[in-house]
Every structure is written in C-alpha cells, then in structure tokens.
Amino acid sequence: MRKERILLCLAHMSGKEQDYIKEAFDQNWVVPLGPNVNGFEKDLEDFVNKREGKEPLDKKVVALSAGTAAVHLALIACGVGPGDEVLVQSFTFCASSHPITYCGATPVFVDSEKESWNMDPALLETAINDRMEKTGKMPKAIIPVALYGMPYRIDRIMEIAERYGIPVIEDAAEGLGSRYAGQVLGTFGKYGVLSFNGNKMITTSGGGALVCDNDKDKNTVMWYATQARESYPYYQHEAIGYNYRMSNICAGIGRGQMTIIDEHIAHHKHVQELYCELLRDVKGITMHTNPWPESDSNFWLCTATIDPELKIRGQEDAYKVIVSGAVGGAAGVIHTASSATTDCQPNDNVEALRVCLDKANIEARPLWKPMHKQPVYKDAPAYVNGVSESLFKVGICLPAGPYVTDEDVRYIVQTIIDSIEK
C-alpha cells in the first residue's frame, strides 16, 4: 500500500504567489483592497471574457471572500427578499441554496436531466408555471449549477428565463474554465458565481468572485460587499451590507494561480481521458463524460457510476458502523450521526468501494446528496423526476487534482478492479 494519500482534489502553487504576497506586505496592503485585488479582478475578466471564434465579452468581476458570498450578493442584487422564491438546482452542494435562506426567501428545488446531471430545462419551466399558479408571483431568480464542472444546458435555460423575465445566477463554482459553445460558464446569465476554495480549479486559500454584466452592477455588488457605506465623513448606513470583500493577500495568491489556470484545466481533462481509457473495458463502471458537442467540462472532479449489480468486496459490511470523523473532504466541526444510515444514501457497493479505496490511501466520496432530500429542506417545494436521487445512489467521485499523476490514476483503477468480486 502507498504511504502517501491520493487526494480527491487539491490546487497547487505556481511559485508566483509568494512574490505577490511579499509585495503586499512590503507595501502594507494587508486589507480587503489593494493592487492585488484589482489585478486579480482584471486577470479574471480577461479569462472569462474570451470566446472561441467570437468577439470577447465585457463582463466585470468582483473578488469576494467566498463563492457562497457571491451567491448571497447576487441574490440581493436581484432583489430577493423575505417571501420570495428562487428556483435552484437540487443536485448540488448546500452553498447554492443556503444563501437563499439568508435572504429570508424559499428555495424551490428543480431536479436534473440524465445527460448532464444538471438542471432539467423542461422541469424548470414546469416549476415556473406551477409556482406562479400556486403563489401568484414569479420566482425571483434561477440558479443552475455546473455540477463537478459539467456545463448545464444554458442555451435552453436562458431562453426560458428570458421568456419569463427571470434573472439567471449561474453557479459556476465548480466550473471555472468550463465552456458551453465556446463561452465560459458564468458569463451567460445576469450574474456568475466563481469559487477559489482550496479544492477548486485554482485557489486563493479561500475566496470567490461574482461575474457581473456591467460596471453599474459591479459597483452595486462592491457596495454591499463593503458594509454598504454612504458617502459621508463618518459611517452612515441606509442598507444592510456585508464584510465580503477578498483581502489583498488572498488576491495575491489568486494572481499567481491565474498564471497556471490553463495548465490545471488541461491536467484535469487529461486525467479524465486516462480514467475513461483504463476503465473502458471494466464492466459495471461508467465514467460521466461530456454529453453534447457544445459541452466542454473542466472535469473539476472525475465522476463515475457503478452498476447496482456489481459486487464489491466488503459490501456486506457497508453502513454497519457510524462514521466518527470527517469523510470525503469535510472540514471543521461536524456532528456525530445518530445512525449509520439515512432514508437516501449511496448503494452498499458504492460505500464498499469508497472504503476499499480509503484503505488503499485513495480519497473518494459519493456524489452530492440532492438538496430536496436534505432534512433541513424537508418542507421546501421540489420538482423532481428521480434523476438526482438515482445518480446519488450509484455515483462516486475519483481523484482528479493537479497532484494526481498518471501513475496514481493507474493505481486507482487497479484498486477498483481488485475491489470487484470475481
């Protein structure tokens, strides 16, 4: 067994980061503003505005403390408040939906289509019409999510959103550098959310950004992100603001990371291709790939589905013991579960494979549990077709970060093969 642990996803440094950080200290810019913040925003604008075979866009970017903060501020900028409803993809991490509740609004969950695993446009339109009939009000925003970097059907989602006059907030936190029809995700809707958490395509240690349509929208978001202060020689507040701006130190890390972002994306795509090649003839294991010609995923995480009939060694012991610590990249304080099982969980063979990989020092994890199956959202409206629940039961995430080598991928695949009962 290998002594080193193969991590699911962890960004790495380019060497440039220390230069920008040192400069910030030398100039005494160790605050949520400064040259690095401005420079990082400019670097991001240059990156997201590029389009293949077309004139560049003119989107603006605000650097923030987290992707979650970006979702929150986008909702506020769209006028979301108490009593409102926001349509959001159910198959996602909680950061897509929790900020809706921060606003006092209600998340309305929309299930996925089979091809991309992302928001089903037909179900989205059904949800819009049903919510209008039930509440007499139009939903205030739509939040599709680039699950594991995979593009959503943004052409159809935007057509529906424009027809009903609902703003789209693209949650591209996992999809930095993913494209649809040659255009970067996060630049189609009114706002686009980016994340630079430690496990994302690039990192600022922690941080995020919001892509905005124009300078006016950017300035509004920046105002809310800096405690919504009025132009007096003292602190005058006429609206509730937030301390959401990125620091000059974190932005310095981001500027260094932008010098290697294309390398990171290319590496993730290479790892995906190697998984597909090595697992092609392994019966019962299917990699999730780009479903359409327009779709160009960054493959932030490489995901696979496992046939329910596939027998994994140790399967009979799955979910017999309550997990006592963090699993699958969880961080911080977690509650100890009261039971080893829930009413919606991955199949026993998925859990058995995760345990087999863990014993071989390979970090893997289940797919995101759909939000409409989370206890905290048990009373939220949901429009479901069974796709996300069925995928959650059979899916697994495999290591794909910049530190994952070809040798690692071969070791992971061989461990998977050895875990299958003959």
Express each pLDDT in 348-374 by its tens digit.
999 999 999 999 999 999 999 999 999
Q: pLDDT digits over 44-77, tens only? A: 999 999 999 999 999 999 999 999 999 999 999 9
Pick the more confident residue, 333 or 94.
94
Q: pLDDT digits over 106-153, tens only? A: 999 999 999 999 999 999 999 999 999 999 999 999 999 999 999 999
pLDDT at position 331 is 57
Q: Greatest CA span in the chain, whole angstroms? A: 75
**Residue 400 CA to chain centroid, in angstroms?**
15
Q: pLDDT digits over 174-224, tens only? A: 999 999 999 999 999 999 999 999 889 999 988 999 999 999 999 999 999
Pair 39, 16: CB distance under 8 Å: no
pLDDT at position 8 is 86
Residue 330 has pLDDT above 60, yes or no: no
Residue 322 has pLDDT above 90, yes or no: no
179-180 and 183-184: which strand pairing?
Answer: antiparallel
Pick the more confident residue, 11 or 388.
388
The pLDDT-based confidence of 385 (bands split at 50, 70, 90) is very high
Q: pLDDT digits over 80-116, tens only? A: 999 999 999 999 999 999 999 999 999 999 999 999 9
Sequence spans of domains, the chain? 17-260, 262-419
Distance separating alpha carbons of residues 406 and 178, to the nearest angstrom: 22
pLDDT at position 186 is 98
CB atoms near residue 19 (< 10 Å): 13
Residue 328 has pLDDT above 90, yes or no: no
Distance separating alpha carbons of residues 387 and 367, to the nearest angstrom: 13
Torsion of Cα atoms, 157 then 163 then 168 then 172, to 10°: 20
The pLDDT-based confidence of 3 (bands split at 50, 70, 90) is low
| CATH architecture designation of domain 17-260 | 3-Layer(aba) Sandwich (3.40)
The pLDDT-based confidence of 21 (bands split at 50, 70, 90) is confident
DSSP string, 7-64: -S------SSHHHHHHHHHHTT--BSBSHHHHHHHHHHHHHHT-BTTS-----EEEEE
Mean pLDDT, range 153-182, rounded to an integer? 98
pLDDT at position 179 is 98
pLDDT at position 169 is 99
The pLDDT-based confidence of 344 (bands split at 50, 70, 90) is very high
Structure tokens at 199: 């496990």
> What separation in angstroms does the CA of 303 have from each of 212, 297, 380?
30, 12, 28
Shortest CA distance to 196 belongs to which of 311, 85, 186?
A: 186
The pLDDT-based confidence of 338 (bands split at 50, 70, 90) is confident
Pair 216, 89: CB distance under 8 Å: no
In CATH terms, the fold of domain 262-419 is Aspartate Aminotransferase, domain 1 (3.90.1150)
Bridge partners (DSSP) of residue 302 are: 398
CB atoms near residue 411 (< 10 Å): 18
pLDDT at position 1 is 58
pLDDT at position 31 is 63
Distance separating alpha carbons of residues 286 and 216, to the nearest angstrom: 46
pLDDT at position 4 is 82
The pLDDT-based confidence of 33 (bands split at 50, 70, 90) is confident
pLDDT at position 333 is 63
* Percentage, residues of the chain above pLDDT 70: 95
pLDDT at position 329 is 53
pLDDT at position 267 is 97
**Residue 126 CA to chain centroid, in angstroms?**
25
Mean pLDDT, range 234-261, rounded to an integer? 95
Distance separating alpha carbons of residues 239 and 227, to the nearest angstrom: 9
Mean pLDDT, range 157-178, rounded to an integer? 98
Q: Calculate Rg over the CA atoms of the chain.
A: 22
E strands present in 78-216: 85-89, 106-110, 141-143, 169-171, 179-180, 183-184, 191-195, 208-212
- 3-state class (DSSP) for residue 419: helix
For the chain, how are helix, strand and coil distributed in percent, rounded to 5?
35, 15, 45
- 3-state class (DSSP) for residue 340: coil
Q: pLDDT digits over 299-321, tens only? A: 999 999 999 999 999 999 999 88
Mean pLDDT, range 395-412, rounded to an integer? 96
